[in-house]
Structure formats: C-alpha cells, structure tokens
Amino acid sequence: MRNHSCWFQSIEDPKYKYDIGEILYRCPNTGSLLEVEHNVKELKKDSPEYWKNLFDSRYRKQSWPYGSGVWGKKEWVVPFVEDKNIVSMYEGGTNLFWADKYGKQIGVEDLWIKMCGNSHTGSFKDLGMTVLVSAVKQIISNGTEIRALACASTGDTSAALSAYCAAAGLKSIVFLPRNKVSVAQLVQPLANGASVISLDTDFDGCMKIVQEVCKKQQIYLANSINSLRIEGQKTISIELCQQFDWAIPDWVIIPGGNLGNISALGKGFLMLKDMGLISKLPRLVCAQSQNANPLYQSYLNNFETFEPVLAKTTLANAIQIGDPVSVNKAIKILKEFDGIVEQASEEELASASARVDLTGTFNCPHTGVAITAFEKLVNNKVIKKTDKVVVISTAHGLKFVDFKINYHLEKLSEISNKFSNHPIEVEASTDKVMQILDSKVL
Ligand SMILES: *Cc1c(COP(=O)(O)O)cnc(C)c1O
C-alpha cells in the first residue's frame, strides 16, 4: 500500500503547512488562502500509464464510490477520507457535448461544451461539495464536534450543500441574498431541509456574515474559500482529458464569479502535467459578466492591481460577485496558463445563450457569458479555427427558467429579441392551424 497523503499549505509561503484534519480556511500565519498539497513524490511511484488505467477502469462504473468522477480520482483528491465517510451521489461523468452544429456557425468545429450542470443538484458545485461534506464526516469521526455546515450562496452552492448534508445526516444553514436567486435555487435547499436565512443584502454581504458566524459555534464554512472544495472541482480538468482519451484541448473557457472554479481548473491541469499524464497545458479563459467584472478590470492592467467592485444586477446571477474570495489563486493560475479574461454584457450573454440553445442545448446564463468570450476571441483571431476548444457550462438551464422564458417572451428590458421564439396562439380549429403553419412555420 502506498502512503498517499496531503496537507494544507499557504499559497503565499509554502513553508506554512498544516494537518489536513484541522479546521482551517486561511493560513493562520500569513492570512492568505490555503491550498491542498499532495505528496506528489509518493504518487509518482506509479507511472502515468498506471494512473490513466486506474482512472479509466473506474470511470462511470457502478462500484460505489469509485464510479463517481470525483472519487474515481480519490488518491489525487483527498486520500485521507475513509470510504465509510464518503458522501457521494455519483458526481462528474458529465456529458462532453460535441457542439459541432454551433461550432460550424462560428467556424470552429472542434468545439465542445462540458455540461457540468447535468449533475445531482444541477451545477458543478456538486464536485466540490461531495469532497467537503465527506471531509467533515471524517473530521467528526476523528472526534471533533461540528454542529452544522454553512455557506453564503448565489444559489448553487446552497443547493449542493443542503443535498449532501441531507444525505449525510448533517445540519446545513444557507445564507441567501433576498430576492436575488431563482425560484429553483431557493426551493432546492428548502426541500433538502436546510435552514435558509434570507438576508437583505447581496452575495458579498452574505459572505461577510457567514465568515463571522463560522468563527463561532462550531459551524463549518462550506464556501469555496475552503480549499477542500477546490480539490473536488479540480477533477473537471482530469475528467476532460480522460474524455478526450488523454488529449489536451487548446482552450478551456469558464465563467468566473468567486473565482474558485477557474483556480480549480488550473490546479487540475497542473497536477496532470506534473504527474506526466499530459505534456502541455491548455490556455485558460475566465469570462465575467460586465456588471460584475473586477477580474476583467485587473486583467486590463496586467493584474498589477486588483480592486473589488460593487456588483450590479446581472442575468448571470451566480457570478454577481464584486469581491471574489479566490482572486489571488485565480490570478496566479491565469498567469501560469497565459490566461485571458473576457467579459459579456447582458445583451451579449442572453443572445449567446439563446443562440447555442438553437443547436440543441438548454444552457444557463453563465454559460452564455463563457460563449460570448469564446465568440469574441474567435472574432479577434486569438482562438484559431483549427483549435480544440472546451466551454465549461456550469449549471443546468432548468435552474434558470425565469431568465429563459423572459427572454423568449421578450420581457427582458434592453435585450434584443434576435433569437427569441414565442408560442403562437391559435384558435383550436384545424383550418386555422393549417393557415398559420403555411404562413409562419413551413
Ligand atoms: C458558482 C457558479 C459559478 C462561478 O464559480 P466561481 O467558483 O464562484 O467562480 C459560475 N456558474 C455557476 C452556475 C455557478 O453556480
């Protein structure tokens, strides 16, 4: 048996390392974010071929929990969690949608959309939450008392936290900005029995309060400032390469808000390269809503400064974040990947989302933000027509039906109706129907 181990480490100064069983969100010495580091020397005792074969042999099989896209890579994720403490609902294994029809319209035919929202609670947040909740069960079984898990959320984190806590038999408390999440996003934590605290503030306001609350009362913080979540989310990159038979895309484009996911995406690719499973890195693009674009602003001055912004309302509500917790990790990653930050206006994201749906998806507004970035980079000839491109779709469109229906019924103010499609109301008579079909449909 190999001794696979991992620990927390300061992202500012690697000499500060901490036991992975401790409850830590930031480095007590430097105040910086933490990341989980693995004993790569030990992992490298097995060859790249060994790891590819192991991951492939487990992928989407029914043997619990290793059929999960996350737990199939357990040795690279959180080897310290014993199987009996794993809370898994078959994460990952999501469709890599071949977007050839839409790709042809744009002129980039090797185009893929990774449907991370086709998952248990409908967003990629499941990938990180299965790891975090399982780690908490491990900490509890090691003898530490934890009374509840809590998060601030723009909707999807709270859905994932409450589902995994319900399955684990743990208490969850979610802080939501009042009237700023969709009905689907509000109802998920309610259905899973979470305590839903609705606050008259925005996401950034909720985030401040939950961090204060979690300093007291043995309440465990489940936001992506918690580096355990990033370990689960980094399996997106591993799974992507696996789905391409270990080929590497040229570009991966992802929408970013709190900037945990772009950090995770990069961390996954770096580990694949370090372990010898891939030989080069893709370029990464982080796409922001123009109404909440602090990273884009910072990119414009080569990341020399970073200023939080007051996030304005955006249709892409899960990334309506002005003061992203993981900004330092994200900037570090973007520099390593020759990364680009793009932005999308409300008009651009709504049109892009609708346009791609016309080729068979049902995507969310955040995917529209990423699609916009893709189109802009193709137009600027930064992305070449022959490049292999992956767009990360972060949530299921069914969580955002208000956005979708309002677009198609043309109820979104200041958004054009380029791709809208509304019901045709006709008298219930075959003649009338035939007339309409002749004049409008056929
Ligand atoms: C959380 C979320 C994002 C943003 O991810 P970050 O890690 O906060 O950058 C994007 N899209 C959806 C649908 C999300 O739920």
More reliable by pLDDT, 351 or 440: 351
Q: How many CB atoms lie within 10 A of CB 61?
A: 12
Ligand 1 pocket check: which of 366, 398, 399 to mutate, most ligand atoms within 8 Å of Cβ? Answer: 366
* 257/366 Cα distance (integer angstroms): 10
Q: pLDDT band for 198, please (50, 70, 90 cuts).
A: very high
Q: In what order do the strands lie in the sheet with 6-10?
A: 17-19, 6-10, 34-38
Q: How far is the CA of 327 from the centre of ligand 1 (A)?
A: 13
Could you tell me the distance, in angstroms and rounded to a whole number, from the CA of residue 417 to the centre of ligand 1?
26
Asked if residue 320 has its Cβ within 6 Å of ligand 1, the reply is no
With a CB cutoff of 8 Å and minimum separation 6, the contacts of 65 are 71, 74, 83, 86, 88
What is the CATH code for 96-122+230-408? Answer: 3.40.50.1100
Q: pTM of the entire structure?
A: 0.97
Is the pLDDT at 368 greater than 90? The verdict is: yes
- Testing ligand 1's pocket by substitution, the residue of 113, 119, 151, 156 carrying the most ligand atoms inside 8 A of its CB is 156
Query: CB neighbours of 293 closer than 8 A, spacing ≥ 6?
Result: 309, 343
The verdict on the CB of residue 318 being under 6 Å from ligand 1 is: yes
Q: Give the chain's end-to-end CA distance (angstroms, integer).
A: 66
Distance (Å) of CA 441 to CA 13, 351, 425, 432, 438: 64, 22, 13, 13, 6
- From the list 267, 214, 208, the residue with the least C-alpha distance to 237 is 267
Ligand 1 near 255 CB (within 6 A): yes
pLDDT above 90 as % of the chain? 94
Q: Give the pLDDT score at 184.
A: 84
Residues 6+ apart with CB under 8 A from 251: 282, 283, 284, 285, 377, 383, 387, 388, 389, 390
Q: Would you state the pLDDT for residue 180?
A: 82
Confidence of residue 3 (pLDDT cuts 50, 70, 90): confident
Other C-beta atoms lying within 10 Å of the C-beta of residue 358: 12
Distance 88 CA to ligand 1 centre (A): 21
Q: What integer pLDDT is reported at residue 44 of this predicted model?
A: 97
* Residue that has been written with the tokens 């955002």 in this structure: 400
Question: What span, in angstroms and rounded, lies between the C-alpha atoms of 71 and 54?
Answer: 12
Choose among 239, 315, 324: nearest CA to 277.
Answer: 239
∠ at Cα 402 (401, 406), nearest 5°? 115
For residue 281, how far is its CA from the centre of ligand 1 (angstroms)?
22
Residues recorded for the chain = 442
As a whole number of angstroms, the distance between CA 318 and CA 181 comes to 8
Bond prior to 65 in cis (omega within 30° of 0):
yes
Tell how strand 389-393 and strand 340-344 pair up.
unpaired
> Which residues touch 239 (CB under 8 Å, ≥6 apart)?
69, 92, 93, 94
Pocket flag, ligand 1, residue 259 (CB < 6 Å): yes
- pLDDT for residue 61: 96
pLDDT higher than threshold 70 for residue 186: yes
The pLDDT > 70 percentage for the chain reads: 100
Assess whether the C-beta atom of 364 lies below 6 angstroms from ligand 1: yes
Q: Which of 120, 258, 328, 363 to mutate to test the pocket of ligand 1 (most atoms within 8 A of CB)?
A: 258
Average pLDDT, the chain: 96
- Ligand 1 center–CA 125 separation, angstroms: 8
The verdict on the CB of residue 123 being under 6 Å from ligand 1 is yes
Ligand 1 atom closest to 364 (CA): 13
pLDDT band at 1 (very low <50, low <70, confident <90, very high): low
State residue 212's pLDDT score.
94
Residue 185 has pLDDT above 90, yes or no: no
On the question of pLDDT at 91 being above 70, the answer is yes
Query: How many angstroms is it from 395 CA to the middle of ligand 1?
Result: 8
**pLDDT, tens digit (0-9, with 9 covering 90-100), for 122-176:** 999 999 999 999 999 999 999 999 999 999 998 899 999 999 999 999 999 999 9
